[in-house]
């Protein structure tokens, strides 16, 4: 049964071939949804494909470990590449096509004077994860814009676990007038509450147990706010809890869920966001609620 399903997934490495297939589907009146990934897929990614299938008749996924969104001391070289396993998982989830380009395909060199084009995402790219990872969101926006132009989907699905990234990409679509519906997919969690992530595999069994504190702390932050506790007090409490559990937090904050600005009297939706380092992994998570 699984072999039969696998034959339904077409894998493309060249832009022209993928575009030809998408064009054929579109000419047949089909709607295209897109799921960009960096590979090393898990059930959380599969949930994005499942959601995409609810919004389209054809689903295209991409696997590309994008070098421009990694900092010089980050894990680009060691980031797991698991193409065969990823293809099997995508096929089992009913994905129709996979785009798996090389770096040279995505970033062609046209001589030594070729400009290095990149998208400046503005102030939102300089806060939270952007403050800790300078240039990260510029790299994300640039590669996603290129992928959008290659695939030209009707809709694209991104996980809400990367809350700031999702907001950056909504801004990208708005500012550059892409006719693409951006769909946020709920975070998939392990039984402990830990958000599914490819970087969870860097964690030892002991560290996985420690990492449970992230989601528990987010829930505490929400509960404190809903009891009327000041945001600053909830944030200080969360930071202290993470530190005492052995994590090294980059931030533990409460922001306006519509803008990521500091909350004020006009805020109607709040989001608690945590980024923390544990062993070799940098873990992010969030929850949001109505005020």
Bridge-based pairing of strands 10-12 and 97-99 is parallel
Does the residue 149 lie in any domain? Answer: yes
Domain that holds residue 76: 2-185
Active site residue 136: no
Residue 193 lies in a domain: no
pTM score = 0.92
Domain identity same for 202 and 159? no
C-alpha torsion angle, residues 245, 246, 251, 253 (rounded to 10): 0
Buried b (16+ CB within 10 A) or exposed e, 70-99: beeeeeeeebeeeeeebbbbbbebebbbbb
In angstroms, rounded to a whole number, what is the distance separating the alpha carbons of residues 26 and 11?
A: 18
Residue 171 CA to residue 165 CA, distance in Å, equals 10
HSE-up of residue 158 (Cα within 13 Å, Cβ side): 20
Position 1 scores a pLDDT of 39
190 within domain boundaries:
no
- Residues 14, 109, single domain; the answer is yes
Per run of 10 residues, the mean pLDDT along the chain (length 291 residues) is 56 98 98 96 94 98 94 85 96 97 88 71 96 95 97 98 98 97 96 94 95 98 97 98 98 97 95 97 97 89
The active-site residue, picked from 45, 55, 136, 237, is 45
Q: pLDDT at position 5, please?
A: 42
């Amino acid at each position: 049964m699984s072999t039969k399903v696998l034959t339904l997934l077409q894998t493309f490495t060249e832009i022209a071939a993928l575009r030809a297939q998408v064009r054929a589907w579109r000419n047949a009146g089909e709607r295209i949804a897109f799921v960009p990934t960096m590979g090393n897929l898990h059930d959380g990614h599969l949930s994005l494909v499942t959601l995409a299938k609810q919004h389209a008749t054809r689903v295209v996924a991409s696997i590309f470990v994008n070098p421009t969104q990694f900092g010089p001391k980050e894990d680009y070289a060691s980031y797991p590449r698991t193409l065969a396993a990823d293809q099997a998982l995508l096929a089992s989830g009913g994905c129709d096509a996979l785009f798996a380009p090389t770096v040279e395909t995505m970033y062609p060199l046209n001589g030594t004077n070729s400009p290095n084009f990149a998208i400046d995402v503005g102030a939102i790219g300089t806060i939270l994860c952007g403050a800790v990872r300078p240039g990260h969101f510029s790299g994300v926006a640039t590669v996603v814009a290129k992928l959008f132009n290659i695939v030209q989907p009707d809709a694209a699905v991104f996980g809400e676990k990367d809350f700031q990234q999702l907001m950056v990409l909504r801004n990208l679509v708005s500012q550059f007038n892409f006719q693409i519906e951006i769909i946020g997919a709920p975070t998939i969690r392990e039984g402990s509450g830990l958000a599914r992530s490819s970087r969870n595999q860097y964690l030892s069994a002991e560290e996985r147990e420690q990492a449970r504190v992230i989601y528990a702390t987010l829930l505490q932050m929400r509960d404190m706010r809903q009891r009327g506790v000041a945001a600053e007090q909830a944030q200080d409490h969360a930071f202290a809890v993470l530190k005492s559990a052995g994590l090294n937090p980059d931030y533990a904050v409460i922001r306006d869920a519509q803008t990521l600005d500091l909350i004020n009297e006009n805020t109607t939706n709040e989001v608690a966001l945590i980024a923390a380092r544990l062993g070799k992994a940098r873990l992010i998570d969030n929850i949001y609620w109505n005020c």
